[in-house]
Every structure is written in C-alpha cells, then in structure tokens.
Amino acid sequence: MDLKQIFKNNREWVEKKLKFDSNYFNNLSKGQNPDILYIVCSDSRVTAEELMGVSPY
C-alpha cells in the first residue's frame, strides 16, 4: 500500500468519526480515567477495544 492510500484511508476514518460524533476527538483529548484494568495478550491486529466491544473513551 502506498502512502497516498494510507493518508486517504486516515482522512476517511476521521470524517467517519466526526460524522458520527462531532466531538469525538475533543472527548478523546480529555484524558483517561479507566474503571478497570484489563490485561490481555494480543498483537497489533486486534485492539483491546475490539476484544471488549467498547470505544476508547
């Protein structure tokens, strides 16, 4: 995959997130205050959020 495609994919991802929630990135910037600590063995192909079915905020 070339860099142009990677950046195009990223722009589309950003647009999708903002369309769903216009404050998505503002909310992410507020920091973290997790209710639980979840330790799991994974690799970069599967995020903890995906395993748990939650969003990163």
Nearest to 35 by CA among 18, 14, 16, 52: 52
- At 1-47, the pLDDT tens digits run 688 988 999 999 999 999 999 999 998 888 777 787 777 776 778 77
Looking up tokens 């599967």 gives 46
Report if residue 38 sits inside a domain.
Answer: yes
First to last CA, the chain: 30
Report if residue 57 sits inside a domain.
Answer: no
Q: Is the pTM of this model over 0.75?
A: no
**For residue 17, what are the domain limits?**
3-52
Q: How many domains does the chain contain in total?
A: 1
Nearest to 52 by CA among 44, 20, 40: 40
Report if residue 27 sits inside a domain.
Answer: yes
| Gap between the Cα atoms of 46 and 25, Å rounded | 21
The length of the chain is 57
